[in-house]
Structure 1
Amino acid sequence: MIIDGMGDRPIKELGDKTPLEAAKTPNMDKMVERGICGIMDPIRPGIRAGSDTSHISILGYDPYEVYTGRGPFEAAGVGLKVLPGDIAFRCNFSTADSDGIITDRRAGRIREGTEEIAAAINGMVIADDVEVIFKESTGHRAVLVLRGEGLSDQISDADPKHEGKPPKKVVPLDDTKEAARTADILNMIVSKSYDVLKDLPINLERIEAGENPANIIIPRGAGAVPYVEPFGDKYGLKPVCIAETGLIKGIGNITGMDLIDIEGATGGIDTNLENIERGILDTAALDYDFLLINVDGADEAGHDGQLDEKIKFIEKVDDMLARLMEIEDAYFILTADHSTPISTMDHTGDPVPILINGPEVKVDDVKIFSERAAAKGGLCRIQGCNVMDILMDLMNKSTKFGA
């Protein structure tokens, strides 16, 4: 179970505690008392991991070999079948003013009406020999796929990363004509999206209601679909994934996991944790050997600099764990995929806490689940790529190395 973005740094307002240290987490603490813990660098010490690359690493794949960009995983996560030669992007529905300046990168955390907005972009004609495929994901997220000859994923992002700036001009990252052509096409799509969306009825309704309109799309994370050895073949396990965002669903899809959709799972602090809990318990009773779970609200709060909301979300997840801890004859790994500190409002390379419960685990002396306390645990400091090796060994399913 990965609590996305849970890790943080000491905050003065909390007496130099982290949100996890400040939160009331009796169930996480109970899990620590029954298990072994440590801290984990999702990729390597000091590397600022994305949610995609960190999950790839934790699942035992080398992100430096598998990862071509975030787009293909997002596309797979929303159910698009990406074909060889397709170039996929993750996108934000964003808000731009009449001067082309981005005033809200997430369009007010839009939750409703995105299907209608996506339909206005899907099929946009830019070049006769390039098909534009566009589909909404969860919340402000969406996916763009370009299908045609002579395209490349070696192009930069359009995302300015901060409000108050126009979309970045997309440029080729190599000297090929394919990269130059793809960059030109993407720039035209971004520009045309504003013209198509600014007067869309749903956006006019949002403006009238005092909400930011989703009147432009911002693509980033270009990538071609990688070949990935199916998780089930790699480990001899039957895997399933419960996740909220298209990105993590896409990682589950591309690695060959079954996907369980949860109603009301928004990927934000307003997500329906009761439904997620019920889905986990129902799925645990099925014929699966491995369950990957991701909840995203702590990461959203970190990106938005919402200290109180991050603490509250961690406490809500802790409450959910009371029922999950009742699952018998299982190994339960609880961790984060990266830190998203309130102070930076972005991912950092700080290590995250990790704990393991289950049969024959060598219980250590740690009593509290937090970044600092976990550092004193029996797992010491590990990397994400170590997690599956440790789990397979505990399950007595690992292969002996040597005589």
Structure 2
Amino acid sequence: MKGIIMIIDGMGDRPIKDLGYKTPLEVANTPNMDKLAEIGINGIMDPISPGIRAGSDTSHISILGYDPYEVYTGRGPFEAAGIGLDVIAGDIAFRCNFSTQDENGIIVDRRAGRIRKGTEEIAGSINSLKLEGFEDIEIIFKESTGHRAVLVLRGAGLSDKVSDADPKHEGKPPKEVVPLDDSPEAAKTAAILNKFVKTSYDLLKDHPVNLKRINDGENPANVVLPRGVGAVPHIVPFGEKYGVKAACIAETGLIKGIGKITGMDLIDVEGATGGIDTNLENMTASIVEAAKNDDYEFILINIDGADEAGHDGQMEEKVKFIEKVDAVIEEVMKIDDLYFILTADHSTPISVMDHTGDPVPIIIKGPEVKVDNVNSFNERAAAYGGLCRIRGSDIMNILMDFMNKSEKFGA
């Protein structure tokens, strides 16, 4: 038997007045998700624990059966690994945003108009940059998907005990990076980052890609904001932990990085943007092909567009994207000899435009599953299911037990 966990990033939501106090998942036309609920066992799931606002990184780590409080050092290392950088011990890694800064130093768009093209050329202007006074530090910079990028600092005397430069909201200047302890390493790293942010604007404000974007009425990607600092963690490989060969199909560098650092094979999908414009047909084809591959007993899937719509407060777009994902579910349900788990990694409510600690719905479909009386897939209906309320850290144990891969505890 194979096992698939499909995570629709940020799919969960809260009741919305404009939707008659229903959630996007409740109003979306999802016949295949509803059918899956009808033939599976349902419940609600706290990615980490009740009320904890999980990040996509910490929730995936928890769902894969690792303790995020032990192995999570920050988002940067996962983002770096996910886009193909070979991070090594001692490296300090950051995830970054290409953002738009005005002439007064104010961030007017944290995501640079959801930039899709030209980031490779922009990144090339930054990679291997030498900062005055810190010539001993190697700067490794690479674009990820959309407005995302990765910065790795390599050299002596560095620390991950520093704050973010991202102000989190438009209308503010980049935050001054400060050391989070009294060490000289943290002070040095903070100084490097502050100089890096300023230098990135000086380098990029007149970059040809940005001049063209301005001419086309688009926000330029003229400054880089590092955040999510971390050191590379030690993680027991997924295959060693569970005794299965695993693959990861994801759209963003972050989730790919979690797959890579846990030892999964990464399957790239052409046209997978991580947004509502992602190529779901190609995602579906890759999922079906991987499921037919006898080398893989487990597949982790992440589809990200609902989260993007939630962060942007786009109610209608979130509903429409969920409906598009429903067609992917239809094809996965045709695969035989499979335990299929459908859930989200967190809620990203339209009203909040960020992650919340709300539980998310979950379904498990497969042989010998005790089917309950739930016949629709959404936040409220799932609460009546036979799984009741579980945590993300329970999922792999449940799946391995269904797949007869778990070991007996006790005599």
TM-score normalised by the chain length of structure 1: 1.00
Pairing 1:394–2:402 present: yes
Following superposition, the deviation at residue 321 of structure 1 comes to 1.2
The amino acid of 1:242's aligned partner reads: I
Please give the alpha-carbon distance, in whole angstroms, between the structure 2 residues aligned to 1:261 and 1:397: 28
Deviations 1:333-353 (A, max 9, x none): 000000000000000000000
Letter in 1 for 2:80: A
| Alignment partners' CA distance in 1, 2:262 and 2:212 | 40
Report 1:253-268 matches (<5 A). 253-268=260-275
SS at match of 2:202: helix
- Shift, 1:397, TM fit: 1.2
Q: Does 1:242 align with 2:249?
A: yes
Pairing partner for 1:124 from 129, 134, 148: 129
1:119-176 per-residue CA deviation (whole Å, 9 max, x = no partner) reads 0110111111100000000000000000000000000000100000000000000110
Partner amino acid, structure 2, of 1:282 = E
- Counterpart position of 1:174: 181
Amino acid at match of 1:186: L
Query: Within 5 Å, which residues of 2 pair with 1:346-365?
Result: 346-365=354-373
**2:112 maps to which of 89, 107, 110:** 107
Note if 1:161 corresponds to 2:168: yes
Q: In 2, Cα distance between the equivalents of 1:324 and 1:396?
A: 21
1:299 matches 2:307: yes
> C-alpha separation between the residues in 2 aligned to 1:401 and 1:271?
43
Q: CA deviation at 1:202?
A: 0.7
Where does residue 193 of structure 2 map in the other structure?
A: 186
Residue aligned with 1:9, SS: coil
Moved more, 120-129 or 193-202: 120-129
Equivalenced residue count is 403
Q: CA deviation at 1:396?
A: 1.2
Cα distance, 1:324 vs structure 2: 1.2
Question: SS of the residue aligned with 1:331?
Answer: strand
Identity of aligned residues (%): 76
Distance in 1 (alpha carbons) for counterparts of 2:332 and 2:247: 16
Write out aligned runs for 1:3-402 (5 A). 3-126=8-131, 127-286=134-293, 287-402=295-410
Residue in structure 1 matched with residue 3 of structure 2 by the alignment: none
Letter paired with 2:90: G
Deviations 1:167-214, CA, capped at 9 Å, x for gaps? 000000011000010000000000100000000011000000000000
State the distance in 1 between where 2:91 and 2:399 align.
35
Deviations 1:12-37 (A, max 9, x none): 00010000001011000000111001
Q: Give the distance between the partners of 1:254 and 1:278, measured in 2 at CA.
A: 25
What is the identity, as a one-letter code, of the residue corresponding to 2:40?
G
Q: Which runs of 5+ in 2 are unaligned?
A: 1-5
Q: How much does 1:323 deviate?
A: 1.2
For residue 259 of structure 1, report the CA deviation from its aligned partner: 0.4
Following the alignment from structure 1 to structure 2, what is the Cα–Cα distance between the partners of residues 248 and 392?
21
Deviation at 1:103, TM superposition (A): 0.3
Q: Provide the C-alpha distance between the structure 2 equivalents of 1:103 and 1:192, rounded to a whole number of angstroms.
A: 18
What amino acid is aligned across from residue 242 of structure 2 in structure 1? Answer: Y
**2: distance between equivalents of 1:342 and 1:89?**
27
Structure 1 residues 62-90: Cα deviation after superposition (integer angstroms, max 9, x where no partner) = 00001000000000000000011000000
Q: Provide the secondary structure at the position in 2 that maps to 1:138.
A: coil
CA–CA distance in 2 between the matches of 1:91 and 1:364? Answer: 44
- Segments of structure 1 that go 5 or more residues without pairing to the other structure are none
Measured in 1, the distance between the counterparts of 2:66 and 2:53 equals: 17
CA positional deviation for 1:322: 1.1
Q: How big is each residue's C-alpha offset from its partner over 1:96-115, in whole Å with a ceiling of 9 and x where there is no partner?
A: 00111000000000000000
Deviates more, 1:106-115 or 1:278-287: 278-287
Alignment-mate amino acid for residue 58 of structure 2: T
> Please, what is the CA RMSD of the aligned residues?
0.4
Which residue type is aligned with residue 394 of structure 1?
Answer: F
Deviations 1:340-387 (A, max 9, x none): 000000000000000000010000000110001000000000000000
Task: Give distance in 2, aligned partners of 1:211 and 1:128.
Answer: 35
Distance in 2 (alpha carbons) for counterparts of 1:339 and 1:230: 28
